[in-house]
Amino acid sequence: MRDDIASGGFRPEIQGLRGLAVAFVVIFHIWPAALPGGYVGVDIFFVISGFLITGLLTRMALSEGGISLVGFYTRRVRRLLPAAIVTLLATLAGTLLFVSDAWWEETAKQVMASALYVQNWRLAGQAVDYLGAEDAPSPVQHFWSLSIEEQFYIAWPVLMIGALWWARRRGYSPVQMLAFVLGVILAGSLAVSVALTRSDPAWAYFVTHTRIWELALGGLLALVLDRFQLSGSVRTAMAAAGISAALASAMLFSRSTDFPGFKALLPTLGAALIIAAGGIRIGRFRGLDVAALRYIGDRSYSIYLWHWPLIIFYVAQRGSIGMVDGIALIVATLFVSEFSYRFVEQPYRHSRSSLAWRPLVDGTVAVGLCVAMAGGLVYAIDRQPIDTGLIGTPNYPGPAALLSSAAVPEGVRPLPPLSKIGSDVPVIYRMKCHQEQKGTDATGCRLGDPAGTRTIVVMGDSHAAQWVPAVDKIAKDRKWKLVSFTKAACPVTRVTILDDGKPYEQCALWRERVLAEIAKLKPDLVITSQSNYTSVAQDAMIEGLRSVWSELAGEGVRVVAIRNTPYSLFDPRNCLGTDPGKCVNPRSVVEREDIFALAARSVTGVTVVDMNDALCGKDSCPAVVGNIVVLRDNHHLTATYALALAPYLAKAAGL
Cα–Cα distance, 212 to 359 (Å, whole number): 27
The answer to whether residue 312 is domain-embedded is yes
pLDDT reported for residue 1: 37
Least confident of 358-362, 632-636, 639-643, 649-653: 358-362
Cα–Cα distance, 57 to 53 (Å, whole number): 6
Q: Quick: pLDDT tens for 24-47.
A: 999 999 999 999 999 999 999 999
Long-range contacts made by residues 383-388, C-beta under 8 angstroms, separation at least 24? 384/417, 384/419, 384/420, 386/415, 386/416, 386/417, 386/420, 386/424, 386/640, 387/415, 388/640, 388/643
Radius of gyration of the chain (CA): 29
Tell me: cis bond preceding 139? Omega within 30 of 0 counts.
Answer: no
The answer to whether residue 405 is domain-embedded is no
Residue finishing a domain among 378, 405, 429: 378
The answer to whether residue 530 is domain-embedded is yes
pLDDT band at 3 (very low <50, low <70, confident <90, very high): very low
Q: Quick: pLDDT tens for 92-130.
A: 999 999 998 999 999 999 999 999 999 999 999 887 554
DSSP H or E segment with residue 28: helix 12-30
pLDDT band at 4 (very low <50, low <70, confident <90, very high): very low
The answer to whether residue 631 is domain-embedded is yes
The mean pLDDT of 296-300, rounded to a whole number, is: 95
Indicate if 444 and 304 belong to the same structural domain.
no
Indicate if the pLDDT at residue 244 is higher than 60.
yes
Q: Quick: pLDDT tens for 311-328.
A: 999 998 888 899 999 999
Indicate if the pLDDT at residue 603 is higher than 60.
yes
Residue 484 bridge partners (DSSP)? 445, 458
Q: Quick: pLDDT tens for 406-423.
A: 999 998 999 999 999 989
The mean pLDDT of 511-522, rounded to a whole number, is: 95
Per the structure, the complete domain to which residue 442 belongs is given by: 421-652
Indicate if 221 and 86 belong to the same structural domain.
yes
Residue 141 Cα distances to 112, 198, 363, 436, angstroms: 12, 23, 21, 23
Q: Work out the percent of the chain whose per-residue pLDDT is above 70.
A: 96
Indicate if 372 and 465 belong to the same structural domain.
no
Domains identified in the chain, total number:
2
Residue 527 bridge partners (DSSP)? 458, 560
pLDDT reported for residue 593: 85
Indicate if 333 and 431 belong to the same structural domain.
no
Indicate if the pLDDT at residue 343 is higher than 60.
yes
Indicate if 316 and 439 belong to the same structural domain.
no
Indicate if 373 and 499 belong to the same structural domain.
no
Indicate if 480 and 584 belong to the same structural domain.
yes
CATH of the domain at 502: 3.40.50.1110
The answer to whether residue 520 is domain-embedded is yes
Are 455 and 481 in contact by the 8 Å Cβ rule? The answer is yes
Q: Quick: pLDDT tens for 557-588.
A: 999 999 999 999 988 988 887 777 788 999 99
Please give the single-letter amino acid code of residue 541.
M
- Burial class for 1, CB neighbours closer than 10 Å (0-12, 13-18, 19+): exposed
Phi/psi at 482 (5° precision): -130, 130
Indicate if 137 and 267 belong to the same structural domain.
yes
Q: DSSP character for 439?
A: -
Indicate if 148 and 218 belong to the same structural domain.
yes
The mean pLDDT of 34-63, rounded to a whole number, is: 95
Indicate if 482 and 545 belong to the same structural domain.
yes
Average pLDDT, the chain: 91
Indicate if 227 and 326 belong to the same structural domain.
yes
Indicate if the pLDDT at residue 7 is higher than 90.
no
Indicate if 119 and 39 belong to the same structural domain.
yes
pLDDT band at 9 (very low <50, low <70, confident <90, very high): low
Residue finishing a domain among 378, 413, 431: 378
The mean pLDDT of 341-365, rounded to a whole number, is: 82
The answer to whether residue 303 is domain-embedded is yes
pLDDT reported for residue 248: 97
Indicate if the pLDDT at residue 631 is higher than 60.
yes
The answer to whether residue 27 is domain-embedded is yes
Cα–Cα distance, 439 to 485 (Å, whole number): 12
pLDDT reported for residue 287: 72
Cα–Cα distance, 547 to 539 (Å, whole number): 12
Q: Quick: pLDDT tens for 450-466.
A: 999 999 999 999 999 99
pLDDT reported for residue 282: 63
The answer to whether residue 105 is domain-embedded is yes
Q: DSSP character for 342?
A: I
pLDDT band at 144 (very low <50, low <70, confident <90, very high): very high
Residue finishing a domain among 378, 410, 445: 378
pLDDT reported for residue 438: 85
Residue 217 bridge partners (DSSP)? none
The mean pLDDT of 631-639, rounded to a whole number, is: 94
